[in-house]
Amino acid sequence: MKFLSRKDILLLKRTLSYTISYRVKLFFTLVTVLMRIVFDIVQPLMWGKMIATLFEKDYNSVLISILIIFVLNISQSSIELIKSYLFTSLNSNITYNIKHDIYKKILNLPVKAFDEMRTGDFLSRLEGDAISIANIISNHFLIGFVDILKVIAIGITIFSINIPLSVIIICSFPISFIIFIKFGNILRKKNKEAAQLRDNYYSNIQQSIQGIREIKSLGIKDYSYKLFSTTSNKLKDSTINLNFTSVLSSTLARAMNYLSEAAVMAFGIFLISKGSLSIEYFIAFSSYSHNFSLALMNITKLNSSIQSTMTSLERSFEIIDDMLYSSEKFGCREVKEINGNIKLENVCFKYRDNKKVLNMINFEIKPNKKIAIVGSNGSGKTTIFNLLLRLYDYDSGRILIDDIDIQDFNEQSLRNHISVVLQEPFLFNMSIKDNLSIANLKANEEELINACRSVYIHDFIMSLPEGYDTIIGENGVTLSGGQKQRLAIARALVKKSKIILLDEATSSLDNESQLYLKKTIDEISKKHTVIIIAHKFSSINNVDEIIVIDEGEVVGQDSHKKLISNSKVYRHLYENEFKEFKNVKEVI
């Protein structure tokens, strides 16, 4: 047998803290609950009284009783309506708050968390688990509290009517208690399994939607459908199994209740025949005994119900309370303006406990310079960007911007001064104007247009029917790769970032786009420090300097001319690209 552990109780306390902001609503909910209990006690007495007066042929009293029962029923329904509204409102508000807390934490999680967890895991916690927590409060705590009050109130009433009959009802309690304790552990385990299957299910859907182009072009729709069927089938079976187990435990406990209710009936009729119990009280008692054993059963079930939802609690609070990953930490220095000088001193970094990805990286980039980083695949170029953006924290060394350690910058300062433009930039499913101004809500129309002119995309935007108000589809599907990159650079300009990091698109750009991008980089580097991860040598012939990375180390920093004669690695990379180009020409 397993009861709630200390950790579980702490989690439940944390859950209860969500009701604090709704204490007025909670108070009125409890008032309606108390009123409902009063009705539950008065009504059976009225029925008993009515039937007793019917036997006595006192029709006036029968009519009065019917009227009272009618008024009671109407009042009870009205109270029930208010109670339902309050319950739903409490439940929805708490779910809303929990979801907010989870979402806020997700935004503050380090990027490492997203490397290790799947998007579906987050969705599953945000959707499935948050709702379960709110259910714990309304369905378990509140209804549990109601049942305790019911047991006390009805218990006092039935014991005052007849003690032996009341003892018979109570006899079923220990057995149903054992049933629920046993099932509680099983349900907790089954719930954990269901939560994992729900994670898989959400991850699978998210991957399929995100990778729909690959699924279609690879011709693997059947495979994707099969994967979906398998995960959703497993989730369906697990949900059916979970619900069946839950209903089975209630049914077994109910069977015990029916047994005690039958015993009450038999013994009650025996007492009536002996003249030691009136019909009026017997009728009232029968109704009480049903309500009483139902409430008693719910109390005994409380442990197993809570056990079964503990998994959701654990999973949600793992995120909310930073138990899986601590939130990102930034310095508190607000740096308003920077010149754009970047210095890396002895920087070492590894992603996990594997080999070093960057080893003793040292270089300096002066303000308003245009620098290219080159190196073979996996040499660590993107990782340098990741560290500059503080998406990951380096293990040793220092990164300085204008001689200030980037760990001292507060989040806003760092994010404002550095922008990154990825190979496939993410554009939001909204107008071009909104996509630009999302980075700086204070920017006026002129600033947006100037930014677009600098990246040579203004004329293209104006050629669109809706101009700057044109909605671009999710991920900017209506734009070409080059247009997306230029728009993303314009966004960085609107943001007024002094440092722009650009991961050049490898092969997706046509010649015209490449030319525009080159012109864009020339233009923006007059006022910004620009670092480009270059995948093609053709695009770096007019940069100020080139940094060569090899297996996580800087093996050269100079102009193209000097590197060609001094750096073996650079020469090798250059010749390789030239060789590939020649091979392609030969094939053509």
Ligand X SMILES: Nc1ncnc2c1ncn2[C@@H]1O[C@H](COP(=O)(O)OP(=O)(O)OP(=O)(O)O)[C@@H](O)[C@H]1O
Helix (H) or strand (E) holding 346: strand 342-349
Minimum separation from the CB atom of position 134 to ligand X (A): 35
For the chain, the helix, strand and coil percentages under 3-state DSSP, each to the nearest 5: 70, 10, 20
* Separation in Å, CA 319 to CA 111, 192, 195, 202, 314: 14, 16, 15, 17, 9
Q: Which residues contact 324 (CB under 8 A, 6 or more apart)?
A: 113, 117, 318
Nearer to ligand X, 227 or 422 (CB): 422
- Longest distance between any two alpha carbons in the chain, whole Å: 119
Specify the residue for token string 């909605």. Answer: 471
Residue with smaller CB distance to ligand X, 314 or 577 = 577
128 counts as binding ligand X under rule CB under 6 A: no
Select 375 or 482, whichever has its Cβ closest to ligand X. 375
Residue among 222 and 353 whose Cβ is closer to ligand X: 353
Bridge partners of 502, per DSSP, are 421, 532
The interface mask with ligand X, positions 367-396, x = CB under 6 A, is: --------x-xxxxxxx-------------
Tell me which residues in 510-539 interact with ligand X (CB under 6 A).
none
Q: How far is the CB of 577 from ligand X (least distance, A)?
A: 13
Cβ neighbours of residue 443 closer than 8 Å, sequence gap 6 or more:
436, 437, 494
Closest CA to 387 of 371, 354, 363, 367: 363
Q: What token pair was written down for 227?
A: 């994967």
Q: In whole angstroms, how close is the CB of 556 to ligand X at the nearest point?
A: 15
587, with CB counted inside 10 A (0-12, 13-18, 19+), is: exposed
Which CB atom, from 351 or from 428, has the smaller least distance to ligand X?
Answer: 351
- Number of amino acids touching ligand X (CB under 6 A): 12
List, in sequence order, the alpha helices (H) in 274-371.
Answer: 279-320
Q: CB of residue 350 vs ligand X: minimum separation in angstroms?
A: 8
Q: Produce one character per residue of 217-251: b if its CB has 16 or more CB atoms within 10 Å, e if not.
A: eeeeeeebeebeeebeebbeebeeebeebbeebbe
* Complex with ligand X: residue 354 or 463, whichever CB lies closer: 354
* Residues 60-99 as x/- pattern, contact with ligand X by CB under 6 A: ----------------------------------------
What is the footprint of ligand X within residues 342-361 (CB under 6 A)? 351-352, 357
Residues 305-344, one symbol each (x = binds ligand X by CB under 6 A, - = not), give ----------------------------------------
| Structure tokens, 109 | 């999680």
Tell whether residue 467 is a contact of ligand X (CB under 6 A): no
Residues 220-259 that bind ligand X (CB under 6 A): none
Question: Least CB distance from residue 439 to ligand X, whole Å?
Answer: 24
Q: Which is nearer to ligand X, 423 or 440 (CB)?
A: 423
Nearest-approach distance from CB 465 to ligand X, in angstroms: 37
CB of 358 to ligand X, least distance (A): 8
CA nearest 430: which of 468, 462, 456?
Answer: 468
> Could you tell me the CA-to-CA distances from 555 to 96, 360, 392 in Å, in that order?
53, 11, 23
DSSP assignments along 478-507, one per residue? TS-HHHHHHHHHHHHHHTT-SEEEEE--SS
CB of 177 to ligand X, least distance (A): 50
In the bound complex, what is the minimum distance in angstroms from residue 384's beta carbon to ligand X?
7
Segment 100-119, which members bind ligand X (CB under 6 A)? Answer: 115
Residues forming the site for ligand X (CB under 6 A): 115, 351-352, 357, 375, 377-383
